[in-house]
Each structure stands twice: as structure tokens, then as C-alpha cells.
Structure 1
């Protein structure tokens, strides 16, 4: 699912935005015909995951409307990640997904694996050029590598201008092939999490652990399609509408997530590795408007997504840029997101019930709402370069979706809120 805003659409949108907003389309271009954008992002969840990300993109102008786009992303994540298991009144012990080592969770706490860490490097490249009068094409590829995940992909797009270049219709296709190689291997669906303390020696434990592994790695293939329409309504209003389709086939279970089996009193009897379907089809529609309003610039968008996992989501995002001096501007942002739960999402399994075909207690596919409140501060520097700072507060609110909490589960937090702070520094030159 690596399809991004395709280069030809971005170029058309940026050019039209410059016309609408009265900005100099050549600002920030130095080093001959190259333009660079860089950013450093820091993300920190309270008592959970922390992340740092560095981004560098470059766009080279080779004349005759031919452009080379390059991108590099390096990010590192560390901290504690929710396993999906439920909290309990007493101490709980867990084996790490690799089968090596264990950790304990205090009474009443949400089970978190506090050794979560990873580093990812992603490379992107694309070339765009005219094909014929009013036609543009682009093509490219990407590579993303982390400790246990490799993603390779290609993409291409075509765009046609109409109405004196005030209307652009575009279509893009992308394909990616991902290889997942979790340490310890891929667990069988609903395989039990084993504890070393339940076995007489290391050899018998290792033999039992190996029996819960199905294979060393697995793959996933994804095809994405994007249909887009960009329209200049008038000199102060730019509108864009997209429809996207994503079809994934392969391993989509999270190899690190568990689902707890509880008795009628809510006490955990065992923890099982989750199991998800191996196919997913997603649809989404996206509508964006950029307006010039008396010296300020409003950017408002809405996205609706639905898939065959019965997960539906709504995203509304508003950014409003105001000049505060001749050189500085401020851009407040409010983003709201709401989703329903996937059809196989279950916060826990009842011991008295038979196992379903699929189940996951991962709160990320459960019912939730989130909001992001932030602001960006930017300034123009010499030679048209731009420096900006962004700070934002993110609040995630998982919600109950019809599952009653039996016994002791009524006294623990099954839907713990997640709060995060994001800070970003960007420089364009």
C-alpha cells in the first residue's frame, strides 16, 4: 500500500497552487536546477512508542518539462507496543514473539512489549515528462527495508490537461511486493504463546515453540489504482477529487499481536497469536479544496474509506495559513479521524466459545476516534528558501464496540487512550 500522491498530480497541484496563492513557483531553487526539501520529525507517545524520522527529497529540472524526483526516508522506532492481550488484576508473564526472553506486566496495566524497536530506510525515484501536447507520464519505484520487512514497488501514471490547463484528469497504477520475516518465524493462526516456565528444560520448550511456527517468512502483493481530477475553479480556488482502489493478497496478520482467551470471570486462560484474512480490498474517495481568502490560505479536505473487512473511516483535515508579518506565517491545523471496527476485531475471546475463523485484538483496527491539533510556523529566507516548525498534539480514543467485559475485566481499562506529541522542523532550498 505504497501508492503516494503521484508526481504529475503533485506538480499540477503545486503549479496551480502557486497561481492561486500568488507565490513564486521558482522560489527555493538553488544548485542549478534542483530543489530540495528536508524535514526531521519527532513523535512520542506517553509511555509507549517514540519515533524519529529524517526526510530528504530532491526534484531536478532537466528542461522541456522533464523532472527527476528522488526521496530518502530514514526512521527509527523504539519503546513499548501494545500486544493486544488484556490487562489483569494480577501480574502477567509473556514470552517475546521471537521465543527468546520474557517480560512481566504489572497488575492492571495494558500488556506492552517494551523492547519494540526498528529502523527503516526507504528510497524513492520517479521520472516525469510530456508524452504529447497536454499529456504527461511518470514512472518510478521504491525500496523500503527494515529489520524484518522488505518492500519493493513500481508505479506509473498518465495525466491529461483540458480547458487551457485548468482541468487535469489523471490515472496512476502501483504494484508492491512485501516480504515479512519476523524473528522466530511466522506463527500459525491462533498458535498459543508458550512460557518457558511451563517446560522442564530448554530443549523441550524450544521443540514446542518450533511446533507453533508455520514458516520462516511470508509475502504480500498489493496493487493500487488512483483516478484523479484537479480543477481550477477560479483564481482563488483550486479543487481536487480522487478515487483510489487497493487490492492486497498475502500475509496481513501482525506476527507480534496476541488475543487473550478468558473464562466467564474474565481471567486469562491463555494468549493466542492473532489471525487475519489474507485478502483485503480498500476503496477511498478524497476531496480537497485550497482557497485564497483575503490574504489567508485555507486547505480543507475530506476522505472516506471502506473495505471488505467492514472497516470504514472518515477523515476531515483543515489547515488555515495566516500571515503574521512580512516574512512569517502561522498555519493552525485540526484533523479529525473516526473509524468503525473490522468485522473480526475482538478485544478478547471467550473460553466457552469456539474459535472463529479470524480474530485480532489490535486496537488499531478497532472502533476509535482521533484528533490532531497543531500549528506550523514558517518564514521565507534569503534566495526564497523556507524554514518552518510544526508542533501537534495527537489523541487516540479507542471505543467499546459491543463486547461486554465479564468479571475482573470490568475493573481494568480495555480501551486505553493514547496521547502523543509531534514536532517537526522543515527546510526547503
Structure 2
């Protein structure tokens, strides 16, 4: 994991050196050249533990660690019609280790899914004209040992005549392929422990996201958000065991279709020069019978002109899907079943704080080193699962 962090940091420093030379020539020709607006390096460490692992039928260790690194670049230029083109480039690398995934084949020293590395590059482009109309498109990829994904998106946005509000529509599609890695005792063939040539299945997701943001006055801004999501294909995971009430064993089986409809409201209130309050609420419903509510609040407190603290809290509750039951509670005659506690009824709390410094002459006196932020969060679920996450964000402008 240290090697991954150093690799990403080296890439970041190298690309920064290529773009860090400021161009003071403000002629029309120079203004139309592709320039660096912003670069971000985001690194986080996540650790969780609990006793309801889906790999072992709803019991057993949920211990997992994940080291995530993301490098983001934003470039822009003006064309001959004074339209602004923006290019967002991201390269992400995650590495995780999981105690529960290692139980897919408990007879091995370490199964193939006990640890994995995920790569996820993406490229998004948008163009905005003087009338406040924005068009955009993007492509993303994601790859790990048992999962491949291709994502495409397109968007359109229109500001109101006075530029105080904006409507936007974004369409997305994710075309996924996953390897069907069964628990070792349920595999068939001459060599059930052979991990080569796994069969595959598809999972496709399509969504339309609508939003409207509005500046109410100098203190208050609001945004209304809604999505319509449709998923089709293999929507479970083949290594999630089920232990039935008659002593038999299988893997989770879920419907091949799922509709999701979340609706949300976001608001920001600027209470003077030293305090910004941000609130969020979302209601979620899907065709599997899951209803959920999310409410969060965040306060950005500016202690000095260059240093701020951001405490936050989020509450979440859901009723659980109709196909969930715990260990050895399912009847083998049921059509659909899962013991994944992420689909059960629970509530959770997520709280913590961030610390941000934006000195006028740059962090550590480095002029382009514009911002340094550290955040810590604690996550607690009502089923005794808990997690901690620490993240670091470095911004170059």
C-alpha cells in the first residue's frame, strides 16, 4: 500500500512540474491556450470491523481496510466563440484487504479476493457559452480482479436569465462484468479450487439525474435533487453464502431488476463571514421494498482568515429489503434470499471534523500549494459495525 501511495505522489509531482509555470501574458492568443485551473491529490485510509459478514452467511468478521488515492486535474480553455471548455481528468487507485472475502476459500492461506487493487480512470468534458448553457460528456473505467466496469455519461445544464438558478440533467450508464466466484464448497468440476476461467455475468445500470439550484438571497442557496435509476442483470454477489433453516447451504439470489428513486434537498446558509451551515435531506425508495432517510448537517467555522474547522454529522435509517433474513432463517423454498446486512433494517451515525488551511502565500510558502485539508470520520451502525476514515486533500492552483 505504501508503494501505491508513493507511485501516485510521484505522478502528481511530475504532472505538477509540467503545469506549474505561470503564464503572465494576458493576450487573446495566450488566453485560449489550455491552462491548469486546479489539481487535487486525495488520499484516504479506511478501516472497519463487525460481526455480520455476508460472505459467511451473516455471521463472522467484517474486518476490512482500504487505502485510496485519487489524482484529479481540471484544465480549461476558451475557443474562438468565447465558450469555456473544461476537462476533468481523474486517476484513482484503491487497495483493500478483507477478512470476510478470505473466507471464500478458507482452506487456502489467502484466497484471490482477500486483497485486491482497483484502478478507475475517468475523463469528463464540458463546454459553457455566454448564455449559461452547458453541455458535457464523460467516460470512466474501473477494473479489479473480479469486476470490470465501463461508464458513460452526458449532461446539459441551463442557467436562468439572471444567472441565479440552474437546471441540469445528467444521463449515466454503467456496463459491468463480474466473475462468478462461488464459495469453494459449492463449486463443481474436476478441480473446484482452480480459480481460472470463472464464468461471468453482466450488470447494467442506467440513471437520469435532475437538479435545480437557486440563490435565494445573499445568505441562502438551495438545490433540489432527484434521480431515476434502473439496474438489470446479476445484482447479488456469488460468494455471499446463505445458510437455510434446514441446514442446507447456497448463495444469495436477488431479483434481476431494481428501480431506485431518491429525492433530496440541499441548502447552504452563510451566517456572516465566519460561519457557513450546510444541510441535506434525502428520501430513498426502491422496488425491493427498501425505504431510507438521510439527514446531515455540516458547519464550516472560519477561525482565522486562512484556517477553518468543519464538524459534520449524518444520520441514516432504512427498513431493509423484503428478501433479507439472518443466519439460518431463510426457507429453501423462497424465490429470493440474502443475508447481507447492508440490505437489512438498521440506522447509522457518521460524524467527525475537517481542518482546512488556505494561506495567502501558499502552504509552507509554496505559492501554487493552495490548500491542505485533513478530515476524520467515525461511522457506527446499529448492528455493531463500526469504521474510521482519515483523508488528506492537497490542492494546487
Alignment TM-score, normalising by the size of structure 2: 0.79
Q: Pick one of 368, 380, 389 that aligns with 2:358.
A: 380
1:349, CA displacement in angstroms? Answer: 4.3
Counterpart position of 2:297: 318
1:237, CA displacement in angstroms? Answer: 1.3
1:324, CA displacement in angstroms? Answer: 1.7
Does 2:79 align with 1:67? no
Q: Pick one of 101, 107, 113 that aligns with 1:102.
A: 107
CA distance in 2, matches of 1:31, 1:339: 51
Counterpart position of 1:299: 278
Could you tell me whether the CA contact under 8 Å between 1:80 and 1:114 is conserved in 2?
no
Map 1:218-297 onto structure 2 (within 5 A): 218-263=201-246, 269-294=247-272, 295-297=274-276
1:220, CA displacement in angstroms? Answer: 1.0
Render the CA deviation track for 1:365-406: whole Å, top value 9, x for unaligned: 1111111110000101314701011111111123xxxxxxxx
Could you tell me whether the CA contact under 8 Å between 2:180 and 2:198 is conserved in 1?
no
Counterpart position of 1:393: 378
Counterpart position of 1:55: 70
Could you tell me whether the CA contact under 8 Å between 1:288 and 1:300 is conserved in 2?
yes
Alpha-carbon spacing, 1:81–1:158, altered in 2? closer, same or farther (3 Å):
same
Q: Pick one of 371, 375, 390 that aligns with 1:423.
A: 390
Could you tell me whether the CA contact under 8 Å between 1:79 and 1:114 is conserved in 2?
no
SS of aligned partner of 1:177: strand
CA distance in 2, matches of 1:152, 1:78: 24
SS of aligned partner of 1:423: strand
Q: Pick one of 45, 55, 62 that aligns with 1:42.
A: 45
1:257, CA displacement in angstroms? Answer: 0.6
Could you tell me whether the CA contact under 8 Å between 2:245 and 2:332 is conserved in 1?
no
Q: Pick one of 161, 164, 171 that aligns with 2:162.
A: 164
Could you tell me whether the CA contact under 8 Å between 2:376 and 2:390 is conserved in 1?
yes
Alpha-carbon spacing, 1:364–1:102, altered in 2? closer, same or farther (3 Å):
same
Alpha-carbon spacing, 1:391–1:101, altered in 2? closer, same or farther (3 Å):
closer
CA distance in 1, matches of 2:302, 2:119: 36
Alpha-carbon spacing, 1:103–1:137, altered in 2? closer, same or farther (3 Å):
same
Could you tell me whether the CA contact under 8 Å between 1:171 and 1:228 is conserved in 2?
yes
SS of aligned partner of 1:194: helix
**Higher RCO structure (Cα 8 Å, ≥6 apart):** 1
Could you tell me whether the CA contact under 8 Å between 1:131 and 1:137 is conserved in 2?
no
Map 1:69-84 onto structure 2 (within 5 A): 69-81=88-100
Alpha-carbon spacing, 1:386–1:208, altered in 2? closer, same or farther (3 Å):
closer
1:142, CA displacement in angstroms? Answer: 0.5
Could you tell me whether the CA contact under 8 Å between 1:290 and 1:299 is conserved in 2?
yes
Counterpart position of 1:109: none
Q: Pick one of 317, 322, 341 that aligns with 1:338.
A: 317
CA RMSD of aligned residues (A): 2.8
Q: Pick one of 369, 378, 382 that aligns with 2:347.
A: 369
SS of aligned partner of 2:342: helix
SS of aligned partner of 1:262: coil
CA distance in 2, matches of 1:69, 1:52: 23
CA distance in 1, matches of 2:329, 2:375: 45
Counterpart position of 1:151: 149
CA distance in 2, matches of 1:344, 1:67: 44
CA distance in 2, matches of 1:357, 1:349: 16
1:30, CA displacement in angstroms? Answer: 5.6
SS of aligned partner of 2:261: strand
CA distance in 2, matches of 1:136, 1:115: 42
CA distance in 2, matches of 1:284, 1:389: 30
Alpha-carbon spacing, 1:152–1:344, altered in 2? closer, same or farther (3 Å):
same
Structure 2 regions of 5+ residues with no counterpart? 1-18, 23-34, 50-60
Alignment TM-score, normalising by the size of structure 1: 0.73
